[in-house]
Chains A and B, each alone.
Chain A
């Protein structure tokens, strides 16, 4: 079946695919950064003793985790203009990805924080560190360190989730495949090329994750 692929057309559309690959990469990276910020805030709020903080954080995390990303994407896409908030498709997409991934990142970080022995926090409190100092010097460095492989996993999820942005016509990797498929009536060429490029990103991230895990093990020995 691979011999049957029309390579000439794929080469012709290659610039479009590379554009899409670049767009997918930076959309995912940007969303990951956003998700990390949202995730840290949500995780800290969730673990806080003040219920006015932990309540909304729990609600945010559970609502996001219980509804599909596509429904969330449509929610912002069709809903925000009604509030007078006119975002471009790309901005809407990044917003949806960030808020979606933020909830999962918060849960990943929470697992990382919970793995820290509570004696460390008690010692930090006893030595007079403030809340933010404890967070900055004791909790976050360790929580992020152990959770890097999980965060890279989240990056893989983000790269794949960003495919849904094609449905609100954001130009990225899946959109490039869709364009080839519909302009030339060649779905095989379009979607197999798209899949191959996603696999390229996936294996790179997987290698990175494996390398980091090895590093972590050697560090602790």
Chain B
């Protein structure tokens, strides 16, 4: 029986790869969007403008304080009530971008905060504009603390794309869910789903670790 299910699962591997392609598309677009908007908001948060600061901090808290599943439901079920029709793919990308932007902006803001204020003061004194200061003085130095957690955040966002399967988008997780109705071997089916996610996420985790040791210097190497 097990052998039969295994062969049957092997014949449906192409569907899993198709699902993986949907996952990659959703994740790719959302990651690009989150990075773009996240960097903008993170930099904007360092501007000395109380209202702006509070607005961005409030947005970050709203996103960090609620589950992504609930945010997805709000975008998918409530926007149509307000007359904005979104189909599953756009809803998924939109909610993932809103979600990812908050976390990326927090990382960028945190990274910029680690730069000693003397750097900015010196840049101001040499007459650089805000954009020039960011571009030539602050960001190049801030990338060091930003990149490792940013890559880590990418992994989290890629994993969170699995949640969009519940609004009917046929990503890997949904393919698994559909397959398990036909091949009732959950361990096998979701084992395969897990392997596919692992192939994407694990190299990124290694990259994040590598960046961390590379950019920050190693730990104490304690052994128990």
Contact = CB atoms under 8 A, between A and B. Distances in A.
Interface of A: 1, 44, 47-49, 62-63, 65-72, 74-83, 113-118, 121, 131, 134-135, 139, 156, 159-164, 166-167, 174, 177-178, 181, 187-188, 191-192, 194-195, 198-199, 201-203, 206
Contact of A121 (B166, B172, B219, B222): B222
A46 B223 CA distance: 9
B223 A77 contact: no
Contacts of A163: 67-70
B186 A113 contact: no
A166 B191 contact: no
28 contacts: A62-B205, A63-B198, A66-B197, A66-B205, A67-B193, A67-B194, A67-B201, A69-B162, A70-B162, A71-B172, A71-B176, A78-B184, A79-B187, A82-B184, A82-B186, A114-B220, A117-B220, A121-B222, A156-B64, A159-B67, A160-B67, A162-B67, A167-B166, A174-B69, A191-B70, A194-B70, A195-B70, A199-B61
Contacts of A68: 159-163, 173, 197
Contacts of A67: 159, 193-194, 197-198, 201
Contacts of B219: 114
B105 to A, nearest CB: 17
A38 B191 CA distance: 22
B66 A160 contact: yes
Given A71-B162, A71-B194, A75-B194, A202 B66 contact: yes
Contacts of A162: 67
Interface residues of B, number: 50
B66 A79 contact: no
B224 A139 contact: yes
A202 B65 contact: yes
The 8 A-B residue pairs with the shortest CB-CB distance in the complex, in nearest-first order: A78-B186, A202-B65, A79-B186, A163-B67, A79-B187, A187-B77, A68-B162, A75-B190
Contact of A63 (B165, B176, B185, B194): B194
Nearest to B72: A191
B37 interface: no
B68 A160 contact: yes
A113 B173 CA distance: 36
Interface string B156-172: 00011111011000001
Most B Cβ at <10 Å: residue of A79, A114, A199: A79
A1 B163 CA distance: 27
A161 B156 CA distance: 12
